[in-house]
Structure 1
Amino acid sequence: MKPARLSLRSRIFAYMILLILVASILIAIVTINQYREQSKEYHDRRLDRKEEQVQSHVEYLINKETTYIVNTENLGLIFKDRDAIYKIADILKLKINLYSLEGDFIITSDTSIRSESILECLTAEVLNGLRNSPEKKFADSKIVLNDKEYQSSYNIITDSKFKPLGIINLQFEVDDSFEKELNEFLGRLAFAYLIMFVIAIVFAYYISRYITKSLKKIGEKLDQTRFNKRNEKIIVENAGEEIYNLITAYNSMIDELEESAVKLAKSEREQAWREMAKQVAHEIKNPLTPMRLSVQSFQRKFDPNDPKIHEKVNEYTKTLIQQIDTMSNIASAFSNFAKMPAQQNEMLNVVEITRLAMEIFNENYINYSYEEAEIIAKFDRTQLIRVITNLVKNAIQAISNDRPPRIDVRVFEENNMVTITVKDNGIGITKENEPKIFEPKFTTKTSGMGLGLGMVKNIVETYEGSITFTSEENKGTTFRVSFPKN
């Protein structure tokens, strides 16, 4: 059973939809990345502006407003004086945390924090980042406080002589307007994609149908093309260049096919007569050979004083009559242009028919054996005799001159099948000739037309049987015929 395959129309439709789908996904990915890059850039610029503003307020506070000595120890007092840290945080809408240069917490602008122990000291990562930064600043990742997202940065505070005093941490709430805008845009984009996808499905359906319409018509014509009848040419209006070339090639093929059909029909008729003549000659020759052998054997063994002379005459006569009947059947079949010979099914004792067929062979090296005296099967008597005589004759012709000849014919029943084997110790069959052994007109002998084994194969297969063989060069061959009992 052949695996199911998509039609060209279905594949064109699927590829168009897939292309649109992939393009939509890529556009969506690029759009999301672009919005996120813009959002990141916006927040970075916003943080820089906040830092610049804080820096200006801190410089003004340290250099002009404070009455305390400007050093690290007084840093907390300076920022707490006149609520400076709260004012700066309120003006700039952010949270400010102040740490010493060693990372210890000093003060925060978050009035909701009542205990300084809530805030921890700075991590080693922040401190190392500040020390290694040429700009003496460190941008920390986003943090979440009270279910709100904040962007955080750290800067070193210096006095007017650029001496480090402490570390200031700025935290401002991240503006989620970009995320909201992105979600709204993606919603609108998804709706637009959905409409576009539906339109694309309809468009792809009709486009694929239009493209494959001419191909479908050509395919239908190709399916209807027969060698033995007149085929119609394809006519398609407004066909594209490729389809037009395909149609032209098909129409040319139809013209050539009709010419070839006429020539072939004539050649087949002539060949059929030649093959018929060869087959009739071969079929007539088959019974003539055993008839000749029977007459020669009768002449050689005739003894008028033999008390069993009448019994032997009857056997010889019976054998000759059987072969004459075979020739009569062949002649009748040929005269009626029917299959030769006509098949007559009857219930036969295969053991007995085989014995009768073997009686025409008088060679002492031919042995016949059977397991049961009676094996009944449905077969044509004449055709069964023809199968056996052909196989035995082939075995005789394969005899080797460098050893005593031996041919064993055996009949037995196996798995409700009748089996006949013909085994010889002759020259065998070469590996090169094994695939061709049942081909009509194939022969390795100087005489004969090579129709015997092909005919045997056809007869056996007509009765739903099989014929096989095993062979070794210079050792012999065994043919095995099996067919159902009924």
Structure 2
Amino acid sequence: MGLRFRIFLGMMTVVVCALMATGYVAYRHGVDAEGSYNAQRLLRKEAALQRSLSYMLERLGGEVDQDSLATVFTDRICELADVHSLTFSLYNREGQLVTTSLGPGNDMDLRLSGAVLDRVRGGDARVALGDVANGTEVVWPLLANDGALLALGHVHYDPRESEEADWRAFLARLAPVYLLLFVLVGLLAFSLANSIVRPLRKLSDDMKLDPLGRSTNATVSYRWRDEIGALVDEYNHLLKRLAESMEGRAKLEREGAWREMAQQVAHEIKNPLTPLKLGAQHLRRAWEDQAPDFDERLARYTQTTTKQIDALSDIAEGFALLANDGLGNTEVLDLGDLLQDVTYLCEAEGVTLSNLAVEPALVRGDRTRLTRAFNNLVRNGLESNPEGEASVAVTLATDAGGAHTIEVKDNGKGID
């Protein structure tokens, strides 16, 4: 599971949990509000019933005989029950049922419990019996003018329940908002996950590169100054230090190579100089001694000196070529003309040139280096045979694709 998916999944989980929590809180708020409304509604209905009975009792002089309670209050109780949509009953002071708004065959208790009677007689103005059969029962005393207990009013209140249609309408209004929030948060989570993962992925890809192939231009760009930005800055700093270290190491390696090359060149130069010095000393001694073979010694010394000077010249040319590691002075030149110049001076020694190219063989290169290379090839071919027996054939050809071919053949026997 990738980091991007984990970030996206985490944010979406938080959003879903938040939406569920919001729905639960809204539901609990609705239930609590409904309960508070029912409690206040019951109190209002109780107060209205008490006022109605008290008003009726005052009209009767404030006193009613216990045997006349049903006759006096039945019609009024039924009327009040219909108006307030509840069950209204009346008990005498002994707790026996006198009349009720329910018709015949009702399931009303014929007598109140002793605990309720004791609480009313003890002075409680209202006795709530709690939820009974999904409703609330309340008992309160009806007093005569002299304050004596005349009867007991009993109300069975069925609380108003939240309508399912109301919740459906509420959810119908809330669902589009939740859906829009879900989509917006999903897009935000995806964008945020990409913004976090993108620099990390680029950083990971750069770290997979060969350190020798990196450069200071391969730095990672990240504009935010946060934890990822600190990581990117540290990586860029390390990359810069790595480039500087590699550059310093390459410089040291070049200096070491030149130092070793200088030592080798010095050694190669010293080797020819030693016999030249010894030969000059011997030749001077022979001159001073008037040696009879001085002319022979001079000729031999001259020949040896020439060879050693040629060796020194080759060393100098090779070192100069190594020092100039660039392309040299390149120009467009004709290989036919260049080979003609190389072979012209050597024709007497057995060197021939066959130019098979119909058109000029034009190439771009360094005339000096090419001349030196062909001179060396021709010279090697001539030196591979005894003087007067050498034969070197140089051939230039151009194929249909425009590629030029140069062949240098000699009649030497090669290397034993």
TM-score scaled by length of structure 2: 0.51
Query: What is the distance in 1 between the residues matched to 2:115 and 2:27?
Result: 31
Residue by residue over 1:56-83, the C-alpha shift from the partner in whole angstroms, topping out at 9 and shown as x without a partner, is: 111122221489x525454333323xx2
1:218 is paired with a residue whose SS is helix
Instruction: Indicate the residue corresponding to 2:79 in structure 1.
Output: 87
More helix by share: 2
Residue by residue over 1:119-178, the C-alpha shift from the partner in whole angstroms, topping out at 9 and shown as x without a partner, is: 35334564466466x65212333444xxxx644322121112222223211134433356
Which of 174, 178, 202 is matched with 2:159 structurally?
174
Which of 204, 208, 211 is matched with 1:219 structurally?
204
Instruction: Indicate the residue corresponding to 1:38 in structure 2.
Output: 33
1:28 is paired with a residue whose SS is helix
1:253 to 2:241 alignment: no
Conserved 8 A contact 2:141-2:153: yes
1:202 to 2:175 alignment: no
Query: What is the distance in 1 between the residues matched to 2:241 and 2:219?
Result: 18
Instruction: Indicate the residue corresponding to 1:231 in structure 2.
Output: 214
1:141 is paired with a residue whose SS is strand
1:56 to 2:39 alignment: no
Query: What is the distance in 2 between the residues matched to 1:239 and 1:127?
Result: 80
Which of 106, 118, 122 is matched with 2:112 structurally?
122
Percent of residue pairs bearing the same amino acid type: 24
Instruction: Indicate the residue corresponding to 2:70 in structure 1.
Output: 76
Query: What is the distance in 1 between the residues matched to 2:164 and 2:124?
Result: 31
**Residue ranges of structure 2 left out of the alignment (5+ in a row):** 254-416
Which of 8, 20, 44 is matched with 1:25 structurally?
20
Query: What is the distance in 2 between the residues matched to 1:126 and 1:186?
Result: 44
Conserved 8 A contact 1:66-1:78: no
Equivalent residue runs for 1:319-358 within 5 Å: none
1:12 to 2:7 alignment: yes
Between structure 1 and structure 2, the one with the greater Rg is 2
Distance 1:241 1:87, change over 3 A: closer
AA at the equivalent of 1:239: R
Query: What is the distance in 2 between the residues matched to 1:73 and 1:214?
Result: 94
Distance 1:87 1:248, change over 3 A: closer
Distance 1:253 1:237, change over 3 A: closer
AA at the equivalent of 2:77: I
Instruction: Indicate the residue corresponding to 1:337 in structure 2.
Output: none
Aligned CA-pair RMSD: 3.5
Query: What is the distance in 1 between the residues matched to 2:214 and 2:167?
Result: 64
**Residue ranges of structure 1 left out of the alignment (5+ in a row):** 1-5, 268-486
Which of 143, 147, 150 is matched with 1:162 structurally?
147
Query: What is the distance in 2 between the residues matched to 1:41 and 1:257?
Result: 73
AA at the equivalent of 1:106: V
Instruction: Indicate the residue corresponding to 1:240 in structure 2.
Output: 224
Distance 1:264 1:182, change over 3 A: same
Query: What is the distance in 2 between the residues matched to 1:91 and 1:75?
Result: 21
Conserved 8 A contact 1:214-1:239: no
- CA drift of 1:218 comes to 0.9
- CA drift of 1:88 comes to 2.4
